[in-house]
């Protein structure tokens, strides 16, 4: 078992899953889907990451609901990984509040652009085409290595 767990919710184009899979090439990580994470005891992990695409300027509702149910210990380090068509620091604010309410802080965040065809973006062929690209994936590996 690794000392890093990442709970990953990636739909639409699988952008976030690509990033998390690339991180797993650089460092040993236990990756969980939302369904798997609901049955998991995370108490032995030093780092717990929440990985999601952005939906209506927020991480996945499923990720947020799950974060509310996890009993973290005071020594755990929580981090966020997300992909979206347009990077905005407010994208993580709901999860940050949940984690802060549990007496912890987000220790680090990795974000990169991800191809986005949701809603009106579909009409114009999407935004952030070609992302995550090779540079984004290299940056993801650097992030997880330096965690």
The β-bridge partners of 48 are 5, 78
pLDDT per residue over 54-92, tens digit each?
877 779 999 999 999 999 999 999 999 999 766 767 889
The β-bridge partners of 106 are 78
Q: Is the pLDDT of residue 27 over 80?
A: yes
Q: 3-class DSSP state for residue 138?
A: helix
Q: Which domains does the chain have, with CATH numbers?
A: 4-145 (3.40.50.360)
- H or E segment and range at residue 111: strand 106-113
pLDDT per residue over 103-134, tens digit each?
999 999 999 876 565 655 555 555 456 668 99
pLDDT per residue over 71-81, tens digit each?
999 999 999 99
């Amino acid at each position: 078992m690794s000392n890093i767990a990442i709970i990953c919710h990636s739909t639409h184009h699988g952008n976030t899953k690509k990033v998390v899979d690339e991180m797993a090439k650089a460092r040993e990580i236990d990756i969980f889907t939302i369904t798997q994470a609901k049955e998991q005891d995370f108490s032995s992990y030093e780092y717990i990451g929440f990985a999601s695409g952005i939906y209506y300027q927020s991480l996945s509702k499923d990720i947020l609901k799950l974060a509310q149910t996890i009993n973290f210990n005071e020594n755990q380090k929580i981090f966020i990984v997300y992909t979206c068509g347009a990077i905005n620091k407010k994208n993580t604010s709901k999860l940050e509040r949940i984690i802060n309410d549990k007496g912890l802080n987000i220790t680090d965040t990795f974000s990169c652009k991800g191809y986005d065809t949701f809603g009106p973006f579909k009409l114009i062929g999407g935004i952030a085409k070609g992302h995550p690209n090779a540079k984004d994936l290299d940056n993801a590996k650097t992030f997880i290595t330096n965690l």
